[in-house]
């Protein structure tokens, strides 16, 4: 017992506590991208540029959002610091972030550098492992923020070695960016591998403008979209679908659900997730319109009051609990039925926007 340390309980050092938590928040390069673009979106960016260098994994995300002041830069990467939960009420979350641990976690798994300007002054800050400012310079930059993570997992050897193939990692990163783009159509995206542009997404009014850019085989004329208000317009449901006789897929890879700006589940994996029932509703309402063993293309986005959602199932915030699920299932079913009734003429796509 003694050599295994089974007696003599002691508290973990604070540093170790944070390192353990960091490993859970940032489990892959895609998780770095997710956290940095969450922050850019919360900062109200309308333009996000992502650059990736897979050798030694360097990831750089630039945004034209509100930026950080020097006072905020000093705090930003310390453990559990956030500007987003002022009310202290977990039922009032209106941002993608609220946990205050992404930037700190990034200092644990790599080297974090932030360049930011809010107002007149721009600063470049490198953080140490405690999330404290290690180096600072005043710089002249445009308003907004550039966050860079370098040498990802450099001293997490097992994790670094266990990363899937580069192709797979890039696919995961692309999926994260596509999901965020669908949920935030007003944003312009540019994605680079090193100096070379990999892909870009032009902004639009709705997800209907984004999806054909993501799925290039899709004919925009085959899409139908409807946004329906509920509760006096405080909540609404957006449904975007492909006409079943023109668009169907071998896998349920485009049966997707988003809540308040985040895709919360990709259907078709075998994990239990709280929102599985909504995807079932989608499938059920398409069943009669599709050939056997084919799946629809359908994206639904619920914009609901923050107290209706519990984001705290997992640090990645992709598995959530939802209140009044059954009511939302009925609403989703009704909107899909409504859209499937629309006559199949070439102009319908535009007038339904």
Chain contacts with Mg ion (rule: CB under 5 A) = 38-39, 97, 102
CA 64: distance to chain centroid? 18
> Which of 43, 257, 264, 278 touches ligand ADP (CB under 6 A)?
43
Retrieve residue 12's tokens.
């973990």
Mind spelling out the 3-state secondary structure of 120-182? Answer: CEEEEEEECCCCCEEEEEEECCCCEEEEEEECCCCCCHHHHHHCCCHHHHHHHHHHHHHHHHH
The torsion angles phi and psi of 12, rounded to 5 degrees, stand at: -70, 150
> Closer to Mg ion at the Cβ: 26 or 335?
26
| Angle formed by the axes of helices 207-214 and 166-183, nearest 10° | 160
For residue 189, the SS3 value is strand
Question: Across-strand partners of 339?
Answer: none
Please state the three-class secondary structure of 328-351 as a single string.
Answer: HHHHHHHHHHHHHHCCCCCCHHHH
Scan residues 61-120 and list those touching ligand ADP (CB under 6 A). 63, 65-68, 72, 76, 81-84, 97-104
Comparison of 82 and 329: residue with beta carbon closer to ligand ADP: 82
| Residues in 219-248 at the binding interface with ligand ADP, rule: CB under 6 A | none
**Which partner in Mg ion, ligand ADP, none is near 183 (CB below 5 to 8 A by kind)?**
none
Least Cβ distance, residue 164 to ligand ADP (angstroms)? 25
Q: Token pair for residue 314?
A: 């997992």
Over the window 135 to 174, marking each residue x when it contacts ligand ADP by CB under 6 A and - when it does not, the resulting string is: ----------x-x---------------------------
CA-based nearest residue to 278, from 236, 324, 311, 338:
324
Indicate which of ligand ADP, Mg ion, none lies near residue 145 (CB less than 5 to 8 Å, by partner kind).
Answer: ligand ADP
Q: Which does 221 bind (CB under 5 to 8 A by kind): ligand ADP, Mg ion, none?
A: none
3-state secondary structure of 209: helix
Q: Which parts of 8-37 interact with ligand ADP (CB under 6 A)?
A: 35
131 binds ligand ADP (CB under 6 A): no
Tokens of 169: 């990692």
Which is closer to Mg ion, CB of 39 or CB of 273?
39
Smallest separation (angstroms) from Mg ion to the CB of 106: 10
Size of the site for ligand ADP (CB under 6 A): 25
The interface with ligand ADP within residues 45-64 (CB under 6 A) comprises 63
Report what 99 binds from ligand ADP, Mg ion, none; CB cut-off 5-8 Å by kind.
ligand ADP
Angle subtended by helix axes 102-109 and 14-25, to nearest 10: 100
- DSSP single-letter state for residue 86: T
Determine the Cα–Cα distance for residues 245 and 290; give it in Å rounded to an integer: 7
Q: How far is the CB of 41 from Mg ion (least distance, A)?
A: 9
In the chain, how long is the greatest CA-to-CA distance? 77
Q: Which does 209 bind (CB under 5 to 8 A by kind): Mg ion, ligand ADP, none?
A: none
| H/E element, 276 | helix 276-286
Residues in 255-314 at the binding interface with ligand ADP, rule: CB under 6 A: none
Q: How far is the CB of 342 from ligand ADP (least distance, A)?
A: 40
Question: Between 85 and 290, whose beta carbon lies closer to ligand ADP?
Answer: 85
Spatial separation of the C-alpha atoms in residues 304 and 285, rounded to whole Å: 22
Q: What is the binding site for ligand ADP (CB under 6 A)?
A: 35, 39-40, 43, 63, 65-68, 72, 76, 81-84, 97-104, 145, 147
């Amino acid at each position: 017992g003694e050599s295994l340390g089974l007696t003599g309980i002691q508290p973990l050092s604070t540093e170790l506590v944070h390192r353990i938590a960091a490993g859970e928040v940032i489990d892959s390069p895609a998780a770095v991208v997710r956290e940095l673009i969450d922050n850019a979106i919360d900062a109200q960016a309308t333009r996000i540029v992502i650059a990736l260098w897979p050798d030694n994994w360097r990831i750089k995300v630039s945004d034209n959002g509100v930026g950080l002041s020097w006072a905020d830069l000093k705090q930003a990467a310390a453990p559990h610091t956030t500007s987003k939960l002022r009310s202290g009420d977990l039922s009032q979350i209106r941002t993608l972030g609220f946990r205050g641990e992404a930037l700190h976690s990034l200092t644990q798994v790599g080297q974090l550098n932030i360049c930011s300007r809010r107002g007149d002054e721009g600063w470049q800050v490198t953080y140490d492992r405690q999330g404290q400012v290690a180096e600072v310079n005043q710089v002249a930059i445009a308003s907004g923020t550039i966050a860079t993570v370098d040498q990802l997992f450099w001293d997490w050897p097992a994790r670094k070695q266990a990363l899937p193939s580069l192709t797979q990692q890039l696919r995961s990163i692309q999926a994260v960016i596509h999901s965020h783009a669908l949920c935030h159509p007003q944003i312009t995206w540019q994605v680079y591998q090193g100096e070379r542009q990999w892909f870009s997404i032009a902004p639009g009014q709705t997800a209907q403008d984004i999806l054909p850019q993501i799925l290039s085989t899709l004919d925009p004329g085959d899409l139908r979209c409807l946004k329906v208000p509920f509760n006096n317009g405080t909540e609404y449901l957006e449904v975007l679908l492909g006409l079943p006789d023109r668009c169907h897929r071998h896998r349920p890879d485009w049966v997707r659900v988003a809540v308040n700006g985040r895709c919360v589940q990709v259907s078709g994996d075998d994990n239990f997730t709280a929102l599985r029932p909504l995807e079932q509703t989608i499938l059920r309402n398409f069943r009669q319109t599709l050939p056997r063993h084919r799946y629809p293309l359908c994206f639904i986005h619920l914009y609901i009051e923050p107290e209706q959602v519990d984001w705290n199932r997992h640090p990645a915030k992709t598995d959530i609990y939802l209140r009044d699920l059954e009511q939302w299932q009925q609403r989703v079913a009704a909107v899909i039925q409504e859209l499937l009734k629309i006559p199949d003429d070439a102009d319908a796509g535009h007038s339904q926007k």
